[in-house]
Amino acid sequence: MAPDKSSPVENSWKIFEEYHIDEAVGFALPNPLEELPHPYDAWISIAKNLPELIKNGQLRAEVEKLTTFSIDGLQGHKSQRLAHLVLGYITMAYVWGEGDGDVRKVLPSNIAVPYCKVSEKLGLPPILVYADCVLANWKKKDPSGPMTYENMDILFSFPGGDCGKGFFLVSLVVETAAASAIKVIPIIFNAIQREDPDTLQKALLDITSCLHKALAMFHQIHEYVDPDLFFNVLRIYLSGWKGNPLLSEGLLYEGVWDTPKKFAGGSAAQSSIFQCFDILLGIQHTVGGVPSDSAAKFLQEMRTYMPSAHQNFLRSLESGPSVRKFVLSKGDATLQEIYNECVQAMVSLRDYHLQIVVKYIVIPASRPSKKKQTSKEPSEPKSKGTGGTDIMDFLKTVRSTTVNSLLKED
């Protein structure tokens, strides 16, 4: 792939195919595989029965019995993505166990070796990431039906009943609603190159409309995700081993590295779609390419948790023409207003994300824990997101940066 030869300026889905962006589902993996051939079906079998194996206290023993498989038989991107997803689920379940503080600090080599090899092939870290549990963890019930919550299911579950299904699928429908604006990006870049403010206005209105649809989809979280189950069960299995006192040194990947490694847990900051619109609209979390604060640094770091093709796409956008500079240079009040509506749609999404975090993390964290801790290890700070950040500080900073990107009237 050569981003310098073909940038997103070309008004064609061909270019997006290079960046693994699909016309229908955007950054999500289209029609993910559900099964792997023998011998990898042994991984699938464990991943499909995780909640039951954890409940019966058999999960770790089943994992330890597995043979170490070479990944040479995993041919093709979709097979490798499915392997990364199932090994991610197995790893999270093995490390966190019953979610009661009895953690494992060493991942056995029979999982660690193939997991790290498939991670290397995909350019992803060896931990469950957003690109796994949201973007590659879905199927349609009716293949010819719509991409709606009612017509979808997830491939693998953690304990917590349908909480995971709700969390992952609502995240996915938010993602795909916003992703329908990606096709407008080449039109925007062409409009700037041709000095065509009218076409740019229409394209920006399209993006605003898609972001409004994404926000409407986000509201479904209240219907499908229970705050207590999310906080006390699902959140544990999505937590990483970076900035987490339960694994303060990280996780040792036996047979791969001699020292423990630290990786952040899954986070919405690992979604390419909103970083994509930040770049497009010139919402600057960096100054001269350098992160301006800890929130910006975290966003930049989270790019390394995205599939490499998506990272390349974001880099190619950064080398494209600046929408913000063009809008400012025209001095056109209507164009500025339409640009601001687009930025305001991003502000609204971030405002809503803050409200969700209050309901699903801050309020449950303030209640006495119902979980019995079996370990004497320090417990995880409750205000932290699964990515290891102080989530309220992080989201408030990101929102402020977005608000500050609104063009002020003279």
Binding site for heme b: residue ranges? 353
Work out the burial of residue 382: count CB atoms within 10 Å of its CB; fewer than 13 is exposed, 13-18 middle, 19 or more buried. Answer: middle
Annotation: binding site? 353
DSSP E strands: which ranges in 50-180? 106-107, 138-140, 152-154
Question: Which segments of 41-159 does DSSP mark as H helices, in order?
Answer: 41-48, 50-55, 59-65, 77-96, 109-122, 130-133
Please choose, from the candidates 314, 308, 301, 310, the residue with its C-alpha nearest in 3D space to the C-alpha of residue 387.
301
Please choose, from the candidates 250, 307, 244, 243, the residue with its C-alpha nearest in 3D space to the C-alpha of residue 275.
307
Q: How many residues belong to the chain?
A: 410
CA angle, 347 as apex, 281 and 214 as ends, to 5°?
Answer: 90
* Residue 342 in tokens: 């687009």
Q: Which long-range contacts (CB under 8 A, 24 or more apart) does 56-65 make?
A: 57/98, 59/93, 59/94, 59/97, 60/94, 60/97, 60/104, 63/90, 63/93, 63/94, 63/108, 63/110, 63/111, 64/108, 64/110
* Residue 147 in tokens: 């991409």
DSSP E strands: which ranges in 224-380? 252-253, 286-287, 290-291
Helices 197-218, 185-193: axis angle to 10 degrees equals 160
Give Cα separations from 400 to 72, 109, 178, 396 (angstroms).
47, 44, 21, 6
Q: Strand 290-291 to strand 286-287: parallel, antiparallel, or no bridges (unpaired)? A: antiparallel
Give Cα separations from 295 to 250, 291, 351, 354, 359 (angstroms).
22, 8, 16, 14, 21
Please choose, from the candidates 113, 111, 225, 243, the residue with its C-alpha nearest in 3D space to the C-alpha of residue 173.
225
